[in-house]
Amino acid sequence: MSSPDIASILENSRELDRLRKHQEEVLVGINKLHKKLQATPEVVEKPGDSSLSRLKSLYIQAKDLSEREVAISSSLLSQLDTFLPSGPPGQQRRKMDGTDQKKKRMKSDSDVSRISPSMRSHIEACVGLKDEQVAARVTSDAEKDEWFVVKVINFDEKTKEFEVLDEEPGDDEEGGVQRKYKLPASCIIPFPKRIDPSSTQEFPAGRHVLAVYPGTTALYKATVISTPRKRKSDEYLLEFDDDEEDGALPQRTVPFHKVVPLPEGHRQ
C-alpha cells in the first residue's frame, strides 16, 4: 500500500470522526427541543414560535449526516477491499466440533444486541435510502468499473446488501428491460440532497470526482473546473475524462446532486 493510499484512508477516517461529532451536536439539539415540547407543548401555538421548523431542520441535518456517513464508509470499504489480500487457495479450515458450533450460534445471537451506535446509525441510514436514487457500481472487471444511477428497492440488514433497480438500462442490455442487482454497501454511494445545497460537501476546483454525464444515467470520472458557490448556481463545471472533442476537453455543467466522491482505485 502506497503512502498516498494510506493518507486517503486516514483522511476518510478523520472525516468520519468529524461527522460523528457533528451528529452528536445535532442529537443534543434534537433532545433539547424534545424536552421543551414535552414540557410546554402549547408553545407551538404561540405566534412566531419556530420550534417545529427548527426541529424539522435538525432532523434533515441528522439524515444528511447519516447518508454522508454511508458514503464515506462505502468509500473506506472500497479502499480496504482493494488492499486486503484474500485467503490463499486451498487454505485448510479447522472442522468445528459441537462446542464450536454452539459458541458460534451464541455469538451470532448476542451480536444483535451489541451493535454499536455508529453501526446502528449506518444501518438506519442504509435502510433510509429505500426508493432513493444512488450511484452504484454494477459491474467490475480487470479493466474498468461501471457506475450507474439506480433506485434502491431494499436493504437487507442481515446480509448488508442493497437490492437496486436499473430503471433506464442501455438499449443493448436485454432489449432495454429493467434489471435488478444485489450489491454490497461498498458498491453504493448516496447522492447529495438537492433540497439543501448548503449542507452538502463542495468539491474544490481540481478535485477528481464521479459525476453523471449529461443526458445519461452513467457516471464517469471528471475534474472540477468551477464550483457551484463560485458560479453562484447549483451546478458544477466539469471536464470528463476521455470526452475529447476537436482535440480539447469540453466543459460541461452537472447539478451538484449528481456529483459524488471518486472511489479509491476507480478504473475507467
Give one DSSP letter per residue of 172-212, joined into a string: TSGGG--EEEEEEGGGEEEPPPTT-GGGS--PPTT-EEEEE
The pLDDT of residue 247 is above 60: yes
Sign of the dihedral through C-alpha 173, 179, 185, 191: positive
Least confident of 83-92, 185-194, 209-218, 228-237: 83-92
Selected residue with higher pLDDT from 206 and 71: 206
Confidence of residue 74 (pLDDT cuts 50, 70, 90): confident
CA nearest 191: which of 153, 240, 152, 221? 152
Least confident of 79-83, 156-160, 248-252: 79-83
Give the per-residue pLDDT at 87: 47
Torsions phi, psi for 126 (to 5 deg): -65, -45
Give the per-residue pLDDT at 83: 64
Confidence of residue 50 (pLDDT cuts 50, 70, 90): confident
Which pTM does this prediction carry?
0.57
Give the per-residue pLDDT at 176: 63
Give the per-residue pLDDT at 23: 83
Cβ partners under 8 Å of residue 44, min gap 6: 37, 51, 52
The pLDDT of residue 194 is above 90: no
144-154 per-position pLDDT tens digit: 889 999 999 99
The pLDDT of residue 230 is above 70: yes
Segment 156-167 shows an average pLDDT of 92
- 156 beta partners: 161
Confidence of residue 108 (pLDDT cuts 50, 70, 90): very low
The alpha carbon of 117 is separated from its chain's Cα centroid by a whole number of angstroms, namely 18
Query: Is 147 within 8 Å of 137 (Cβ atoms)?
Result: yes
